[in-house]
Structure 1
């Protein structure tokens, strides 16, 4: 029987979500085992993407080849390739013909690379797993520095790239008509926590009359951003290494539009950062804060139907957002799921006027703000 969800009480929804009313111990272990095995299979997918083996398999079409033939195409050691192919066949990613001893990737699975951001989450984020575990101890470290997460900048680029490619120019900016018109005529824009400059460069290429600045504390990410901008011949973009909570003194009232994409909750000193953001934004200027689409109360998040997105958000938060924020010892430790209500409260306390709170991009919520005229 199907019961309309809107006819259920919150208590009933919580019971359904937890499965506590009907689930047996055997069913519980079976369900969790399935989840764990699926996650472990993800390591194999990540290896195929990192080594380029999936690119080789996709290029083969549905032509069946032996492990040696695939290794030769990839320029790799056959023994490792053979083990990976067995791993992927067991996970039902590649197909295997036992009569010919050959492997292939069915054409309907050739879009596997679209999942790269999600697939690479596990190996990149959990490189700091044991360091984070040490933080749980009362006498352990307060957090883990950003630098300990190898290729985290790459992961941020992968997970945010789709939004910049498919939505930023096409949907997000046009949803703010006044900002969009100003971008066309020419304004100063600051992308805070720009990483490898994906959003900054996307905007700079489209709105050539405007001047864009990307700010980040990661020198490797900024090197990549500068290289990309130079390669494209962009002259209206500049990348600066600086802390959001301590921006250049001569930036007061400099910018017409500030863009902050999945950054604020990671900061050790978000209150200081918001004060600085208020300082550098012109009176009447607009601030876009995009945060994880979550509520500040756990109960409200557990009642949502898209539980998978909440689980994923908590994984990011526990292993990176929280320990990075707490690393200095006195960091705020907001966590990725501090929620839209607390975010709005923090923005209002920083003297921004929150104009709207709407869902935006992939699992994000957009808090659009203005700095009131003096």
Structure 2
């Protein structure tokens, strides 16, 4: 038997990485709390302040604020003056942690970590027994996704995303028929309906709660050119009804994305455009070694995107289905022309301009 000699420096390096992982995981949870409680937003407006002053300004319990500050100080997020016992959020950090910093607010994305951790037990059961975890088990997921898409999609929709399709903005101004499949709470579609009153908009989503939110928002905006319906995207059966069909981060979650894409193909008019925003990645793990958010995205995929699809007896593509698989499935659905655009503000997504 050959005795394996371990490289002590490699062990030490990996140990450091593991300790960093533990600290960063903890900081992710605390970052989510800082975002949800508004602590980052409050501190961005305060001079160096005591824990009591910060708690009072945020209307929170001082003892919990003080412990949270301990994590933020030792984690390098917040500066601490030992003599005065005051805490300060540098402007350079606030530029990545506050709602005012959107679309650069990374704190909003930190919410995914505790949200996904809440389904750890049923996910572990899936490791042993297969299957998946249904959407209903993910509390706040639609809310977090709406905030996520609000930064990456809604905020950039009219100025950056729609203009990547030549002539689309002008067509929307004149008036066309638009469908958003997997519209969620309808933030993108409501914005388009308000911006382009001559066009007609329809949104489909499987979630009754999300559609209810979308409808209420449309009513509050007095929009008359938009409708939302609870509908499974796999049952899309319209024929050449739309000039523009959009999906924003929706296809890879579907139980049967192949069926959904074929339905979109049929529903699109011959001279229409399908605009698909989805995760920018390779279908092969080796192609994602330099991806800046690969571990994060594979984790979201495993604990949500893949699992909700499998829970419905689906294909379980997952968020990291990748560009190669996306192009393959678009071709199989019948599309013959596909261009891929990328935007500077959004390192995470590809924008596929798809035509028949």
Under a length normalisation based on structure 1, what TM-score does the superposition of the two structures give?
A: 0.85
Cα deviation for residue 30 of structure 1 reads 0.9
Is 1:358 equivalent to 2:345 in the alignment?
Answer: no
List aligned pairs for 1:194-273, cutoff 5 A: 194-247=183-236, 249=237, 251-273=238-260
Q: Is the 8 A contact 1:195 1:218 kept in 2?
A: yes
Q: 1:281/1:132 Cα in 2 relative to 1: closer, same or farther (>3 Å)?
A: same
Determine the structure 2 residue equivalent to 1:180. Answer: 169
Q: Is the 8 A contact 1:347 1:354 kept in 2?
A: no
Alpha-carbon separation, structure 2, partners of 1:67 and 1:309: 33
**1:253 aligns to what SS in structure 2?**
coil
Determine the structure 1 residue equivalent to 2:140. Answer: 151
Alpha-carbon separation, structure 2, partners of 1:119 and 1:319: 15
Alpha-carbon separation, structure 2, partners of 1:219 and 1:204: 21
Deviations 1:168-187 (A, max 9, x none): 21122112113333212111
Q: Is the 8 A contact 1:174 1:180 kept in 2?
A: yes
Is 1:283 equivalent to 2:283 in the alignment?
Answer: no
Alpha-carbon separation, structure 1, partners of 2:298 and 2:115: 15
5+ residue gaps, structure 1, are: 1-20
Cα deviation for residue 23 of structure 1 reads 6.9
Cα deviation for residue 77 of structure 1 reads 2.0
* Match 1:67 to one of 51, 55, 80: 51
Number of aligned residue pairs: 341
Cα deviation for residue 243 of structure 1 reads 0.4
Q: 1:32/1:189 Cα in 2 relative to 1: closer, same or farther (>3 Å)?
A: same
Alpha-carbon separation, structure 2, partners of 1:220 and 1:368: 30
Determine the structure 2 residue equivalent to 1:367. Answer: 352
Cα deviation for residue 22 of structure 1 reads 12
Cα deviation for residue 96 of structure 1 reads 2.2
5+ residue gaps, structure 2, are: 1-6, 99-104
Cα deviation for residue 78 of structure 1 reads 2.0
Determine the structure 2 residue equivalent to 1:133. Answer: 124
* Match 1:42 to one of 28, 47, 63: 28
Q: 1:107/1:340 Cα in 2 relative to 1: closer, same or farther (>3 Å)?
A: closer
Cα deviation for residue 210 of structure 1 reads 0.6
Determine the structure 1 residue equivalent to 2:330. Answer: 347
Determine the structure 1 residue equivalent to 2:298. Answer: 314
Alpha-carbon separation, structure 2, partners of 1:337 and 1:36: 24
Determine the structure 2 residue equivalent to 1:117. Answer: 108
Alpha-carbon separation, structure 1, partners of 2:305 and 2:140: 15
CA RMSD of aligned residues (A): 2.1
Cα deviation for residue 52 of structure 1 reads 2.2
Deviations 1:28-55 (A, max 9, x none): 2212322331221121111121122223
Deviations 1:211-249 (A, max 9, x none): 1111111122222222222222222222111000013x5
Greater mean alpha carbon deviation, residues 252-261 or residues 107-116: 107-116
Determine the structure 1 residue equivalent to 2:78. Answer: 94
Q: 1:116/1:236 Cα in 2 relative to 1: closer, same or farther (>3 Å)?
A: farther
Alpha-carbon separation, structure 1, partners of 2:293 and 2:60: 36
Under a length normalisation based on structure 2, what TM-score does the superposition of the two structures give?
A: 0.89
Cα deviation for residue 166 of structure 1 reads 4.3
Alpha-carbon separation, structure 1, partners of 2:31 and 2:173: 42
Q: Is the 8 A contact 1:352 1:370 kept in 2?
A: yes
Alpha-carbon separation, structure 1, partners of 2:352 and 2:154: 21
Question: Structure 1: which 4+ aligned runs deviate by more than 4 Å?
Answer: none
Greater mean alpha carbon deviation, residues 50-59 or residues 288-297: 50-59
Alpha-carbon separation, structure 2, partners of 1:165 and 1:362: 16
Alpha-carbon separation, structure 2, partners of 1:80 and 1:66: 13
